[in-house]
C-alpha cells in the first residue's frame, strides 16, 4: 500500500497519459478558444486587455489539469475531508477578514492569483460528499441520521457564502450537494419533503436577504419597473440577444455590446455578446459544445467502478452544468442576475482554475476508472 501520488501497480505514467481523454481536452480547448474570440471582440477587436491574459491563464490551468488527472483517485479520496475542511477554513477566514473591515471581501490575495474560497469549495464539497457516500451503503442512506452530516457539510459553506453575500454560489453549492445526495440514493420522498418545507420557508428567507439581493429578484420578476436602474442590465441583455436574430450581427458587429449598452460583457454577460454577434446559431452551437462536455462527464461517471469516483465525476459534471445553465438562464432573463460566469469563456482566473481542476479530477476518474476502492478507501480485489 503506497500513498504515492503517481505510482500505481497497474499503470505507468506513460500508460496514464495514453489513457487520458484527449477528445475531452480538445473539446475544452475549442470552448476556451471561442472564449478568447469573444474576449477579443469585447475589447473592440483588441487582444488586450482580456484575451491574452485569459490565454495565459488557460495554458497554466491546462497544465495543472493534466497533472491532477494523473494523480491517483485514491489520493483524493484519502485527502477529501482534509481538502473540504481546508476550504471551509478559508471561507471562515474571508468571513472574518470581511468583518474586520474589508467590506464584502470574497477572496484571499495570494500574490499570483486572488483565491476565492467559495470557488474552491465547489470542488471541495463534491469531494467531501463523494467520500462520505462512498462509505455509506445503500441501505444506510435510508436512515435519516446518516443524512445529518452531509446536510451539515452542504449547509455550513452555503451559509458562509450566503453571508458574503453571494447568492449565486450559495445556490450552486446547495444544488450540487442536493444532486449528490440524490445520486447517492437518498429516498426521493425526502427531497419532496425538504422541497416543500423550503417553499414554506421562502417568506422567512426573504427577510434575511440584503436589499440589493431583493432588488435583483424583484427586478428579475419585472425588469421594466426600473429600466434605467436595476432592470437596465436585463433589458439591455435581452435587446442584445433578441436583435441578434438567427445568424447574428457578425463578429465584432454587435451594436449593443460595442456601443457599451451591454454591461459586463467580458464577464457575466459574455454569452449575450456571443448570441448577439452569432445569433441563435452561435448560441445553440456553444450550448451544444457544453452538452457534449456533460455527455463525457456522464459517460465517465457511469463507467467508473467505485462509488467515490462515480459521485465525484457526476458531481463535477453537475457543477459544470449548473455554471452554464445559471449563467445563460440569467442573461436570457429566466433567472435573477446572480453573478455566475459562463464557464471557460467569461474573463476571470479563479473560476477557470476551479473548473480546470474539476476537469482534471474528472479525467483522473477516467484514467483510473477500473480501480475498485473499498468502503474505507482500501484497495479491493
Partner 1 sequence: MPMLKDRDQERQKVFTRRALLLGGAQLGMVGALLGRLYYLQVVEADRYRVLADDNRINIRLLPPPRGEIVDRFGMPLAINEKNYRVVIVREQAGNVPATLERLGRLIDLPEREVRRVMREMKRKRAFVPITARENLTWEEVSRVEVNAPDLPGIAIEVGLTRFYPYSETLAHVLGYVAAVSESELTGDPLLELPDFRIGKNGVERTYDEYLRGKAGTSQVEVNALGRVIRELSREDGTPGRRIEITLDMELQRYAMERIGEESASAVILDVHNGDVLALASTPGFDPNAFNRGLTPKEWEELISNERGPLTNKAIAGQYAPGSTYKMVVALAALDAGVTTPNQRVFCPGHMELGDSRFHCWKRHGHGHMDMRDAMKQSCDVYFYEMAKRLGINRIAAMSERLGLGQTLGFDLPGERSGLIPSREWKQARLGKSWHQGETLIAGIGQGYVLTTPLQLAVMTARLVNGGIAVKPHLIRREAGDGLGALGSNLVPDSGFPSMGISAEHLRIVRESMAAVTNEQGGTAYRARITEPGMEMGGKTGTAQVRRITMAERLAGVKKNEDLPWKFRDHALFVGYAPVNMPRYCCAVIVEHGGGGSAVAAPIARDLLLETQRRDPARGRPLAALPRREG
Region from 152-160, 215-223, 342-350, 372-380 binding partner 1, contact rule CB under 8 A? 372-380
- By the rule CB under 8 A, 194 interacts with partner 1: no
117, 108 contact by CB (below 8 A): yes
- In whole angstroms, give the CA distance from residue 291 to residue 297: 10
Region from 68-76, 168-176, 181-189, 354-362 binding partner 1, contact rule CB under 8 A? 181-189
Cβ proximity to partner 1, 115 vs 183, nearer residue: 183
Question: CB of 315: closest distance to partner 1 in angstroms?
Answer: 11
Residue 58 CB contacts under 8 Å (≥ 6 apart), including other chains: 32, 36, 352, 356
Q: Residue 127's closest CA among 298, 349, 364, 379?
A: 364
Residue with cell 482534471: 360
Question: CB of 207: closest distance to partner 1 in angstroms?
Answer: 29
CB atoms within 10 A of CB 207: 7
- In whole angstroms, give the CA distance from residue 225 to residue 219: 7
- In whole angstroms, give the CA distance from residue 55 to residue 372: 37
- By the rule CB under 8 A, 246 interacts with partner 1: yes
Q: What are phi and psi of 109, to 5 degrees?
A: -80, 115
Strand-pairing partners, residue 114, are 109
Binding residue (CB under 8 A) for partner 1 from 54, 307, 346, 350: 307
Q: What are phi and psi of 369, to 5 degrees?
A: -65, -30
Binding residue (CB under 8 A) for partner 1 from 292, 329, 370, 377: 329
- By the rule CB under 8 A, 179 interacts with partner 1: yes
Burial 246-277 (b: 16+ CB within 10 A, else e): eebbeeeebebbbeebbebbbbbbbbbbbbbb
- By the rule CB under 8 A, 38 interacts with partner 1: no
- By the rule CB under 8 A, 149 interacts with partner 1: no
- By the rule CB under 8 A, 185 interacts with partner 1: yes
Query: x/- site string to partner 1, residues 79 to 118, per CB under 8 A?
Result: ----------------------------------------
Alpha helix segments (H runs only) across 135-210: 148-163, 167-184, 188-208
- By the rule CB under 8 A, 59 interacts with partner 1: no
- In whole angstroms, give the CA distance from residue 94 to residue 105: 7
Binding residue (CB under 8 A) for partner 1 from 128, 168, 231, 279: 279
Cβ proximity to partner 1, 90 vs 301, nearer residue: 301
Residues at the site binding partner 1, with contacts judged by CB under 8 A: 137-138, 179, 182-185, 236, 238-246, 255-256, 258-261, 275, 279-280, 283-284, 287, 291, 294, 298, 301-302, 306-307, 310-311, 314, 318, 321, 325, 328-329, 332-334, 374-375, 380
Amino acid at each position: 500500500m503506497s500513498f504515492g501520488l503517481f505510482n500505481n501497480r497497474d499503470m505507468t505514467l506513460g500508460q496514464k497519459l495514453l489513457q487520458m481523454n484527449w477528445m475531452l481536452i480538445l473539446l475544452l480547448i475549442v470552448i476556451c478558444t471561442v472564449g478568447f474570440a469573444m474576449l477579443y471582440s469585447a475589447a473592440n477587436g483588441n487582444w488586450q486587455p482580456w484575451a491574452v491574459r485569459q490565454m495565459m491563464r488557460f495554458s497554466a490551468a491546462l497544465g495543472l489539469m493534466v497533472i491532477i488527472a494523473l494523480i491517483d483517485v485514491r489520493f483524493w479520496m484519502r485527502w477529501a475531508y482534509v481538502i473540504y475542511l481546508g476550504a471551509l477554513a478559508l471561507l471562515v477566514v474571508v468571513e472574518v477578514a470581511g468583518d474586520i473591515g474589508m467590506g464584502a471581501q470574497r477572496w484571499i490575495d495570494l500574490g499570483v492569483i486572488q483565491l476565492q474560497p467559495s470557488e474552491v469549495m465547489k470542488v471541495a464539497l463534491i469531494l467531501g460528499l463523494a467520500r462520505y457516500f462512498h462509505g455509506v451503503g445503500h441501505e444506510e442512506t435510508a436512515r435519516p441520521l446518516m443524512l445529518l452530516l452531509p446536510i451539515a457539510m452542504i449547509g455550513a459553506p452555503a451559509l458562509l457564502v450566503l453571508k458574503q453575500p453571494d447568492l449565486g454560489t450559495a445556490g450552486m453549492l446547495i444544488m450540487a450537494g442536493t444532486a449528490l445526495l440524490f445520486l447517492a440514493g437518498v429516498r426521493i420522498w425526502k427531497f419532496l419533503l425538504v422541497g416543500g418545507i423550503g417553499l414554506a420557508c421562502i417568506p422567512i428567507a426573504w427577510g434575511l436577504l440584503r436589499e440589493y439581493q431583493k432588488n435583483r429578484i424583484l427586478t428579475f420578476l419585472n425588469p421594466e419597473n426600473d429600466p434605467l436602474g436595476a432592470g437596465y442590465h436585463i433589458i439591455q441583455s435581452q435587446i442584445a440577444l433578441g436583435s441578434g436574430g438567427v445568424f447574428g450581427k457578425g463578429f465584432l458587429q454587435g451594436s449593443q455590446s460595442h456601443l457599451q449598452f451591454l454591461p459586463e460583457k467580458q464577464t457575466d454577460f459574455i454569452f449575450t455578446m456571443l448570441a448577439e454577434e452569432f445569433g441563435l446559431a452561435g448560441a445553440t452551437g456553444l450550448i451544444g459544445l457544453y452538452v457534449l462536455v456533460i455527455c463525457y462527464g456522464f459517460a465517465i461517471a457511469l463507467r467508473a467502478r467505485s462509488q467515490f469516483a462515480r459521485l465525484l465525476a457526476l458531481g463535477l459534471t453537475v457543477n459544470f452544468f449548473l455554471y452554464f445553465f445559471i449563467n445563460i438562464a440569467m442573461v436570457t432573463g429566466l433567472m435573477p442576475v446572480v453573478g455566475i460566469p459562463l464557464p471557460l469563456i467569461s474573463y476571470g482566473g479563479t473560476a477557470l482554475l476551479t473548473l480546470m481542476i474539476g476537469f482534471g479530477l474528472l479525467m483522473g476518474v477516467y484514467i483510473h476508472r477500473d480501480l475498485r476502492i473499498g468502503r474505507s478507501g482500501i484497495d479491493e480485489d
